[in-house]
Structure 1
Amino acid sequence: MGNLSEKTVQNLKIETVEQYVRVVSSFERRHVAQWFFRGHGRREFRLVPTLFRVVEHNPMSNVGAIEAYLMDCFKQEAPAYLASPPPSDDELGWLTIAQHYGVPTRLLDWSTNPLIALYFAAVGHPDHAGDVWCIGAHSTHNCLAESTHSDQRSTVRNSGLIVFPRHLSPRVTNQSGCFTNHRTDKPADESDWEDYCRFTRIAIPAEQKKQVLSDLYDLGIHGTFIWPDLGGLAERLRYEVTVQHDRRTGDTG
């Protein structure tokens, strides 16, 4: 089984969606209960939540003070815009909504769907290489041949570091969203997370992003799916009328 606590990052590279699917499909799944994926439009981005990045530019305050201010204000003012706000004591519910609308929090977005992460890695910063970070969560009983998907999920849900929020927004549902909950500003790949055993980083060259997005569009992964609202519809329509795509012949020889 090996030493699953070692945080050696495996670095891979893909140029097509087909290659990406093959790579993800080959991931170890006996000693890893489940894989989680996050896309970055630029490879220099680190696995650090926005709250800690805000603190870097605000030396007069600490993390706790900024977090308390942001969440107190959000919980006070947001109900006017929410049809069904969470109960006042549902901290994760409030954090989920705040993260969803761009408030800096200690949560970092991940997805159980690798194609969602690939979309985010390809959609922004066209002149820069992107990447998809993959975290494999350690398994307690997934090694057994008779284990099921529910066995797999119970292992991860009991780990405490992956947070599965209530689906308070269709975006969470469509993006197969979940979070890691960070206590320090240390990047996830440098943290001592005993429950996580595998880190893989998949690079996407800048010159391949356009084709990757085109292929994802053909698979139904586009703005309307990622953001199931008017903003997502507008994003897809902009894409359809502004981006030219490769008119391949389909030859396989």
Structure 2
Amino acid sequence: MIKIKYVVKEYIKSVSEYIEHFDSLDMIYGSSEILFRGQSCDRPLIPKLGRIPIRAKSSIKEVEHSLITEFKRGILPLSEFKPDNPWDLLALAQHHGLPTRLLDWSSNALIGLWFAVCKPPKTDDKGKILDGVVWVFLPSKEDFISDEAVLPDPFKNTFTTKIFKSSMISRRIAAQAGIFTAHRIIVTDNRFIPLNTNSKYKKKLFPVYIKGQHFWTIRRELAQLGINHFSIFPDLDGFSKHLEWKYAKFTDEKY
């Protein structure tokens, strides 16, 4: 059984406050691991496939089928790994930006924080700086897809929303300590249920907030701890972005 007690909206201003925050929470959990998801603003926990606008008269499942079919057809000359099952195919697609039914999480608390602050904060329509958030997920053992030998076909959509650990088919998945929640599409409504409102999971989730004006200082603290674009994305794209940040500065940075 999992029990989380928190009353007020909690904000952190530094990496040390972030780490200390978890010690101050009254948490009783029966979980083998804690998962973290950083977001630059507080939005529902829905996979990217459910957030993109789709063409009129198309269903999410139809769009998913088209995306995955084209991705599978085109990856052979582009990827150093060849997925041998549809779940690993989904994981590879997810980590290279394709909208899928997977939602990214990390078992590393600092990586979760980095994803919340790695870019300048977003603003609303009135120019107000938005808060970032790290969602902390305390799953139970039964929340995981446990038997890989009898994995359901993800595209048949017959499973309930679960946590999926893919094979380390990508350097990005390994570097990010990546884990996924795999979401079932509600076909009758053509939508996903946000994880944070899902009756099975909402009591196992809590948010830790970061004011937008603190993004840049936390970003620098994380870099001193070795958490940066290159460590998160260990390829030429990540290396180039890290060098850009190292020798220039983002728009929210004061010096």
Q: Smaller-chain TM-score range? A: 0.7 to 0.9
What is the SS of the residue equivalent to 1:81? Answer: coil
Residue 21 (structure 1) shift: 0.5
Q: Does 1:224 align with 2:226?
A: no
CA distance in 2, matches of 1:93, 1:25: 35
What is the SS of the residue equivalent to 1:110? Answer: strand
- Residue in structure 2 matched with residue 187 of structure 1 by the alignment: 194
- Residue in structure 1 matched with residue 170 of structure 2 by the alignment: 169
| Distance verdict in 2 for CA 1:236–1:108, change over 3 Å | same
CA distance in 2, matches of 1:211, 1:86: 39
Question: Given the alignment, which residue of 200, 208, 215 partners 2:214?
Answer: 208
| Distance verdict in 2 for CA 1:176–1:26, change over 3 Å | farther
- Could you list the per-position Cα deviations for residues 92-137 of structure 1 after superposition, in whole angstroms to 9, with x for gaps in the alignment? 1110111111111000000000100101101124243211011111
Residue 26 (structure 1) shift: 4.4
Q: Residue type of the partner of 2:103?
A: L
**How many equivalent residue pairs?**
226
- Residue in structure 1 matched with residue 70 of structure 2 by the alignment: 73
Residue 225 (structure 1) shift: 0.4
* 8 A contact 1:17–1:216 mirrored in 2: yes
- Residue in structure 2 matched with residue 92 of structure 1 by the alignment: 87
Q: How does 1:1-253 map to 2 (within 5 A)?
A: 4=2, 11-27=9-25, 30-33=28-31, 34-43=33-42, 45-54=43-52, 56-87=53-84, 90-126=85-121, 127-138=129-140, 156=144, 158=146, 161-184=162-185, 185-193=192-200, 197-243=203-249
Which stretches in structure 1 are left out of the alignment for 5+ residues?
141-154, 248-253
Task: State the structure with bigger RCO (CA 8 A, min sep 6), 1 or 2.
Answer: 1
- Could you list the per-position Cα deviations for residues 2-40 of structure 1 after superposition, in whole angstroms to 9, with x for gaps in the alignment? xx4999997421111100011134456652312110011
Q: Residue type of the partner of 1:35?
A: I
- Could you list the per-position Cα deviations for residues 26-75 of structure 1 after superposition, in whole angstroms to 9, with x for gaps in the alignment? 456652312110011112x2211011122x44232111111111111111
* 8 A contact 1:8–1:199 mirrored in 2: no
| Distance verdict in 2 for CA 1:116–1:47, change over 3 Å | same
Point out 4+ residue stretches in structure 1 off by more than 6 angstroms.
Answer: 5-10, 244-247
| Distance verdict in 2 for CA 1:240–1:51, change over 3 Å | same
| Distance verdict in 2 for CA 1:137–1:239, change over 3 Å | same
CA distance in 2, matches of 1:40, 1:118: 8
TM-align CA RMSD:
2.8
What is the SS of the residue equivalent to 1:137? Answer: coil
Tell me the TM-score normalized by structure 1: 0.80
CA distance in 2, matches of 1:211, 1:72: 42
Residue 192 (structure 1) shift: 2.3
Q: Residue type of the partner of 1:204?
A: I
Tell me the TM-score normalized by structure 2: 0.79
| Distance verdict in 2 for CA 1:5–1:64, change over 3 Å | farther
CA distance in 1, matches of 2:21, 2:223: 20
- Amino-acid identity (%): 28
- Of stretches 164-173 and 17-26 in structure 1, the one that deviates more from structure 2 is 17-26
| Distance verdict in 2 for CA 1:6–1:28, change over 3 Å | closer
Which stretches in structure 2 are left out of the alignment for 5+ residues?
122-128, 148-160, 186-191
What is the SS of the residue equivalent to 2:116? Answer: helix
CA distance in 2, matches of 1:229, 1:193: 37
- Could you list the per-position Cα deviations for residues 180-210 of structure 1 after superposition, in whole angstroms to 9, with x for gaps in the alignment? 001131211001226x742110110011111
- Residue in structure 2 matched with residue 144 of structure 1 by the alignment: none
What is the SS of the residue equivalent to 1:221? Answer: coil
